[in-house]
Chains A and B, each alone.
Chain A
Amino acid sequence: MTETMSDDPAVKPQAIQLTRRDIDDAKRLLALLAGAEGKIVIGPEDAEERSTPPAERASQQAALNLLSRRRRRHKIFGRAMFGEPAWEMLLLLYSVGPRETVGRLAELAYASKSTAIRWIDYLESQGLVCREAHPTDKRAIFVELSDKGKQLIRLYLFDTARSET
């Protein structure tokens, strides 16, 4: 989904463009809800989020802050000077995840899909992420951090926080 908006919270979004994939996702969600007969069970991701220990939540927030600083840098200097799609994808999966489709990850990391796929191949070869089939969309593949990926990001964030105090 592409949204044209300002960082200023007072400015309302001008327009929201939905892709065919967004509409397909919405249709699938509506179909699931229609069959729920009034009872909606919280998915494992949400349950996971609720039981996330405070230290884990703090490190996820640290990852989000890192991403936010990167976005600010891009806004001021322009994107051409920088480019670390693999790092952006790891931070996104850690902070926003736990899993995203390849297309969505590419979009969030401001990389083309072909570049994102190559970086995901590399990250998978290093044991940092895993691919998983989408439960309802045969065209989509989910990417999530492996245990090793999570451990290494936690280590990085912990070391960074310690060196800054």
Chain B
Amino acid sequence: MVSDPEAPSGPREERFAEIIDMLESALRALDELDPCAATGARLQGLIDDLKNGLRG
């Protein structure tokens, strides 16, 4: 079986992935209110940092 190299592979990674999912849901909700909000940009930066942290 070929595994996805970016998939979470431990309890810590799974928890991080859950947090990223929650933040992405929050970002989508925020986009409905104001897609140009500075908070949205900060949140996106945080999500990207978390994803980079998971990868690397």
> Hey, which chain B residues are within 8 Å of A111, CB to CB?
45, 48
**CA of A83 to CA of B47, assembled, Å:** 13
**CA of A114 to CA of B35, assembled, Å:** 13
The answer to whether A160 has its CB under 8 Å from any CB of chain B is no
A interface, how many residues as a size bin? 10 to 19
**CA of A125 to CA of B38, assembled, Å:** 10
Instruction: Choose, from A3-11, A21-29, A115-123, A151-159, the stretch at the interface.
Output: A115-123
Q: Is the interface of A mostly helix, strand, loop or mixed?
A: helix
The answer to whether B37 has its CB under 8 Å from any CB of chain A is yes
B41 contacts A115, CB within 8 Å? yes
Taking the nearest CB of chain B, how far is it from the CB of A129, in angstroms? 12
> Hey, which chain B residues are within 8 Å of A85, CB to CB?
41, 45
B36 contacts A112, CB within 8 Å? no
> Hey, which chain B residues are within 8 Å of A83, CB to CB?
45, 49
> Hey, which chain B residues are within 8 Å of A107, CB to CB?
none
The answer to whether B44 has its CB under 8 Å from any CB of chain A is yes
> Hey, which chain B residues are within 8 Å of A112, CB to CB?
44-45, 48, 52
The answer to whether B40 has its CB under 8 Å from any CB of chain A is yes
Taking the nearest CB of chain A, how far is it from the CB of B29, in angstroms? 15
The answer to whether A141 has its CB under 8 Å from any CB of chain B is no
Taking the nearest CB of chain A, how far is it from the CB of B28, in angstroms? 13
Q: A51-88 toward B: CB 8 Å interface, digit per residue (1/0)?
A: 00000000000000000000000000000100101100
**CA of A20 to CA of B35, assembled, Å:** 31
- Interface on A for B, CB 8 Å cutoff? 80, 83, 85-86, 111-112, 114-115, 118-119, 121-122, 124-125
- The 12 listed contacts between A and B (C-beta, < 8 Å) are A86-B38, A111-B45, A112-B48, A114-B48, A115-B45, A118-B44, A118-B45, A119-B38, A121-B35, A121-B36, A121-B41, A122-B36
Closest 8 CB pairs of A and B: A118-B41, A125-B36, A112-B48, A115-B45, A119-B41, A121-B36, A118-B44, A115-B44
